[in-house]
Structure 1
Amino acid sequence: MALKVSLAIIFGIVATLISVALAAPGTATFYSSYVLTPPIHIYFAASACYGNKNYGVMIAAASDPLWQNGAICGKTFNVTCTGPTNPVPHPCTGASVVVKIVDHCPGCGGTLDLSREAFARIANPVAGIIKIDYRQI
């Protein structure tokens, strides 16, 4: 029984190390994933991947290098803030977020353009742009 527990613990540690090693560095910005129009109706902005379908708020747009003619649409990524890119001290919350790619962000200022809600989960929005590690899950 103790051998099984030890093997499970070792396997968990190795799996964690492999997943960390496969993370890619990049930067993230954020955008608003919806449009408010009077009298405060929420309309989800059309996405390059899915049109007007609602995929919630834990979503992101891919920059040109990741876009690959839309091949990245629907892929999910675990994103973690690793530090600031500007003078905002300590922007990271210490949390990670899982986002689904639903849009293209041509010419955006980062690797991933996260929804405001996803960005706020991992960093202070005042930072505007942050360093990240991201990996596909």
Structure 2
Amino acid sequence: MAKNQNSLLLLSLLLLLASSVRLALSETGTASFTNARYSEQSCTDKAPAITMYTGVYDKLYGNGDICGAKYSVTCIGGVDGQSSPCRTTNPVEVTVTDSCSPEADNKPCPTFVLSAKAFGLIANPQAGFATITYER
């Protein structure tokens, strides 16, 4: 019996370590979503027509060199003290199709502006924003 408990403890520790390593390799940012159609995106000639897409903030987007790049995005919590909107801790894979420029009222862009479908898979859309981790 003690041997089984030790094995279970070791397995739990290994899973925790693997999760910590994954978080260490990830970047942290924020995400919101858009209902814009894919055809309205700026990288449509570099990525196939998809429903799991994202715009990224200008610094990450650069000159569009990352058009078509795939990112794994995971919801990890709320933004500015809001309760967590996360529906799952499973990541979604999205393809970069656009950049995010500050809106008319000059609010800063989140790190990712996900398609409504992608955001809805990881977080409650009523929250509007979520804290995420992401990696390429």
Equivalenced residues, count: 117
Matching residue of 2:32: 29
Query: Please, what TM-score do these two structures have when normalized by structure 2?
Result: 0.74
Q: How far did residue 124 of structure 1 move? A: 0.1
Higher share of residues assigned strand: 1
Q: Which runs of 5+ in 2 are unaligned?
A: 1-10, 103-107
Whether 2:88 is the aligned partner of 1:97: answer no
Whether 2:59 is the aligned partner of 1:56: answer no
Give CA-to-partner distance per residue, 1:17-66, whole Å, 9 cap, x none. 543321000000100142xxxxxxxxx43221125975221110111111
Q: Classify 1:87/1:19 alpha carbon distance in 2 versus 1 (closer, same or farther; 3 Å).
A: closer
- Percentage of matched positions with identical amino acids: 33
Give CA-to-partner distance per residue, 1:82-134, whole Å, 9 cap, x none. 11115653310123110000111112630000000000000000110111000
Q: How far did residue 76 of structure 1 move? A: 0.5
Aligned counterparts of 2:112 and 2:34: Cα–Cα separation in 1: 10
Q: Classify 1:97/1:53 alpha carbon distance in 2 versus 1 (closer, same or farther; 3 Å).
A: closer
Equivalent positions of 1:1-137 (< 5 A) are 18-34=21-37, 44-51=38-45, 55-86=49-80, 88-94=82-88, 95-107=90-102, 109-136=109-136
Aligned counterparts of 1:130 and 1:58: Cα–Cα separation in 2: 17
Letter in 2 for 1:59: Y
Q: Classify 1:52/1:32 alpha carbon distance in 2 versus 1 (closer, same or farther; 3 Å).
A: farther
Q: Which runs of 5+ in 1 are unaligned?
A: 1-8, 35-43
The Cα RMSD (Å) is 2.5
Q: Which runs of 4+ in 1 moved over 6 A?
A: 12-15
Query: Please, what TM-score do these two structures have when normalized by structure 1?
Result: 0.73
Tell me the secondary structure at the aligned position of residue 70 of structure 1. coil
